[in-house]
Amino acid sequence: MMKIYDWHIAPNPRRLHIYLAEKELKIPLEEVGGEDLKLKPEFIAKYPHAMVPMLELDDGTCIGEAMAICRYLEGFHSDPPLFGVDAKDRAVVDMWEKRANEEGMLSASELFRNSSPEFADRGLPGSAEPIPQLSVLIDRAKARLTRFCHKFDEQLATNAFVAGRRYSVADITALCAVDFGKWCDFEIPEQCTNMHRWYEEVSSRPSAQA
């Protein structure tokens, strides 16, 4: 039986939760985040890569990385399509999802990990060794998030959703990035009116509460 190792409050697992809700898919979840805001030692022992979410297949294969999991599930559950509908559309979705991740999620992660007292010595994810926080990264991460918003705002000026006419995984990652930024009081700049319009729309889908 397939199973997801989850940390319900964390931003990367949220990408998968929203995906599952859009597909109306249910897969058993096991919570592996501890009350000390660290992954449970049993989980790290099982999966030394120490990142969530992780999908364990029937044969014990461990698939990590939220979007690798979503793409795997897409192969079995194509309706509604969330990775694009034809070759070109799939490429456009893929490109924008990668940008949402590298420019949005990773910037928000940089901001959070370098500014949150609870994450002292955890300046990077997935590490056993202490990684000191660097306060100089806080402003740079905010600048990266601002740039991310302006770029996506421009794309959303002529597109209903991030990768075109249809809601896709690119919207999921971008939404999770924006909401992750909010953890550290980062807000979409006021002048990014297209992004504000998009944010209200994708946030009002039931999947956003998953």
Chain residues binding its own copies by CB under 8 A are 49, 57, 59, 61, 63-65, 67-69, 71-72, 75-76, 87-88, 90-92, 94-95, 98-99, 102, 106, 123-124, 127, 129, 131, 134, 136-137, 140, 143-144, 147, 151
> What's the min distance (Å) between Cβ of 12 and its own copies?
11
> What's the min distance (Å) between Cβ of 127 and its own copies?
7
Nearer to its own copies, 8 or 90 (CB): 90
Cα torsion for 172, 62, 102, 185, to the nearest 10°? 60
Q: HSE, CB side, 13 Å, CA atoms: give it for residue 37.
A: 9
- Token couple for 47: 């999966």
Q: Which stretches within the chain are classed as H helix?
A: 11-23, 41-46, 66-74, 87-99, 106-115, 136-157, 169-183, 193-203
Nearer to its own copies, 107 or 207 (CB): 107
43-68 as b/e, with b when 16 or more CB fall inside 10 Å? bbeebeebbbbbbbeeeeeebbbbbe
Nearer to its own copies, 164 or 208 (CB): 164
- Token couple for 127: 């590490």
CB of 64 closer than 8 Å to CB of 54: yes
Nearer to its own copies, 91 or 160 (CB): 91
> What's the min distance (Å) between Cβ of 204 and its own copies?
29
> What's the min distance (Å) between Cβ of 93 and its own copies?
9
Token pair 């006419």 is found at 165
Nearer to its own copies, 7 or 96 (CB): 96
> What's the min distance (Å) between Cβ of 126 and its own copies?
8
